[in-house]
């Protein structure tokens, strides 16, 4: 008998009919001889409607964050009740638990709380009594009993953290795709499903735009060694196993390719090449709430240098407004240039560590295809380039083929 944690997202439980299907699937998992904890999200659309109402009653200010959590947590609470009812209607034995009832404790940071610890006694007790436990994703309880929510990707995190706490044999993230692909199949038509991927590769894929899961949950899984499978909630095909790195994995040099559209670039030219300049710029950017991705600074020749960074296009205006008034303080002839209409293409694979020449192979493939590279950034297991957004999809196909994925 295995102990399995499953997680169903908002689309999978988007209607009472779909909840019925999810209930059947959970029950089948138990009847194949497993203990099951199923984490469910709010029904698709519900969270947005709740946010809309919050904005209606709080038109001029941000709605109080404490109350936002009280409000949003009703979404998952509705789903756990309906899912449990549906399982019971099918002859199963299910019991729902809110985050607080399941012993999920967090800090007090409303709307983006972090899990501090889990007391899985109640979950364990119900499992021992042959119950299926239906657990509300995305929510927890602060030390003083307030309702908290975990922010984006919170339900995945609930599933992985609970799997760690009860020492589950497997954690399944059921979603609307069949697994993690070598590239987005809508862009590269012969992209293949990856059978197994390491946490680090998954992290690099996620942070490079393959939004199957938030990085945060993958990091948590890595930290606690939770093996999980990303698979479809609509069929029984094997998905992608995300697990600890093992030697066999290195035989594949490039695991996958990910692309990120709608990027923009800011270059600050001629800043004095002295300590503290970069710090000034990026502190200001960070304080303004803008999230930046790549940062590139090349060696200086004349005691002056250019610093570039990329960010999502929607944040460009804010970044410009933040930096504009600082320019005079950064040196005499300092100027700012911005570009949007660019995108990022990354190749990811832990095999890169032991295989040289991956970057070279990528650049030459792009050159042959006539793609101009504007920026380059590399990590131990990733090589990323910034190119024209127009050519991004074609470039993905070129590189996918060059590495025989």
Residue ranges binding a second copy (CB under 8 A):
16-17, 19-20, 23, 50, 53-54, 56-61, 63-64, 66-68, 70-71, 73-74, 77-78, 80-86, 88-89, 95-96, 98, 101, 145-147
31-56 burial, b for 16+ CB within 10 Å, e for fewer?
A: eeebbbbbbbbbbeebbeebeeebee
CB contact at 8 A, 363 and 402: no
User: Would you mind telling me the total number of residues written for the chain in this entry?
Assistant: 405
Largest CA distance in the chain: 77
Residue (16 or 32) nearer to a second copy, CB: 16
Look up residue 369 and give its two tokens.
Answer: 């295809």
- In angstroms, the CA 272 to CA 13 distance is 55
Residue (61 or 235) nearer to a second copy, CB: 61
Sorted by sequence, the CB contacts under 8 Å of residue 218 that are 6+ apart come out as 199, 202, 203, 206, 242
Shortest distance, position 74 Cβ to a second copy, whole Å: 4
Q: First CA to last CA across the chain, in angstroms? A: 36
Residue (52 or 287) nearer to a second copy, CB: 52
> CB atoms < 10 A from the CB of 167, how many?
11
Shortest distance, position 7 Cβ to a second copy, whole Å: 19
Residue (69 or 184) nearer to a second copy, CB: 69
Shortest distance, position 4 Cβ to a second copy, whole Å: 22
Shortest distance, position 101 Cβ to a second copy, whole Å: 6
Residue (20 or 216) nearer to a second copy, CB: 20
71 in helix, strand or coil? Answer: helix
- Pairing mode, if any, of strands 104-106 and 115-118? antiparallel
Q: Which residues pair with 132 in a beta bridge?
A: 94
Shortest distance, position 129 Cβ to a second copy, whole Å: 13
> CB atoms < 10 A from the CB of 286, how many?
12
Shortest distance, position 118 Cβ to a second copy, whole Å: 16
Residue (15 or 333) nearer to a second copy, CB: 15
CB contact at 8 A, 172 and 75: no
Shortest distance, position 350 Cβ to a second copy, whole Å: 44
Shortest distance, position 30 Cβ to a second copy, whole Å: 17
Look up residue 48 and give its two tokens.
Answer: 């947005």
- In angstroms, the CA 68 to CA 71 distance is 5
218 in helix, strand or coil? Answer: helix
Residue (18 or 265) nearer to a second copy, CB: 18
Residue (129 or 332) nearer to a second copy, CB: 129
């Amino acid at each position: 008998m295995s102990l399995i944690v499953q997680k169903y997202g908002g689309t999978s439980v988007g209607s009472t009919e779909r909840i019925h299907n999810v209930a059947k699937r959970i029950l089948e998992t138990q009847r194949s001889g497993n203990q099951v904890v199923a984490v469910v999200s709010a029904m698709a659309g519900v969270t947005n409607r709740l946010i809309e109402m919050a904005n209606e009653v709080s038109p001029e200010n941000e709605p109080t964050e404490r109350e936002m959590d009280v409000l949003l947590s009703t979404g998952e609470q509705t789903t756990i009740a309906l899912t449990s009812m549906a399982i019971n209607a099918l002859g199963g034995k299910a019991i729902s638990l809110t985050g607080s009832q399941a012993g999920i404790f967090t800090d007090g940071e409303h709307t983006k709380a972090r899990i501090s610890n889990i007391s899985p006694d109640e979950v364990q007790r119900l499992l021992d009594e042959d119950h299926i436990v239906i657990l509300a994703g995305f929510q927890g309880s602060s030390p003083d009993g307030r309702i908290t929510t975990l922010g984006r990707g919170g339900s995945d995190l609930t599933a992985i953290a609970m799997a760690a706490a009860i020492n589950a044999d497997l954690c399944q993230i059921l979603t609307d795709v069949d697994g993690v692909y070598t590239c987005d199949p809508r862009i590269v038509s012969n992209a293949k499903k990856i059978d197994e991927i390491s946490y680090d590769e998954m992290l690099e894929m996620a942070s490079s735009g393959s939004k199957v899961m938030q990085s945060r949950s993958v990091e948590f899984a890595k930290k606690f060694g939770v093996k999980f499978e990303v698979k479809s909630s609509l069929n029984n095909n094997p998905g992608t196993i995300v697990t600890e790195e093992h030697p066999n994995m290195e035989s594949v040099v490039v695991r996958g390719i990910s692309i990120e559209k709608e990027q923009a670039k800011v270059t600050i030219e001629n800043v004095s090449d002295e300590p503290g300049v970069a710090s000034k710029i990026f502190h200001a950017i960070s304080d303004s709430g803008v999230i930046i991705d790549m940062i590139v600074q090349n060696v200086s020749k004349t005691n002056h240098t250019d610093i570039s960074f990329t960010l999502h296009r929607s944040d460009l205006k804010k970044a410009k407004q933040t930096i504009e008034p600082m320019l005079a303080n950064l040196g005499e002839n300092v100027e700012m240039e911005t570009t949007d209409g660019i995108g990022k293409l990354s190749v990811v694979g832990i095999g890169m560590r032991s295989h040289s020449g991956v970057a070279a192979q990528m650049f030459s493939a792009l050159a042959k295809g006539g793609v101009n590279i504007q920026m380059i950034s590399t990590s131990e297991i990733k090589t990323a380039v910034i190119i024209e957004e127009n050519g991004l999809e074609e470039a993905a196909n070129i590189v996918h083929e060059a590495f025989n994925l």
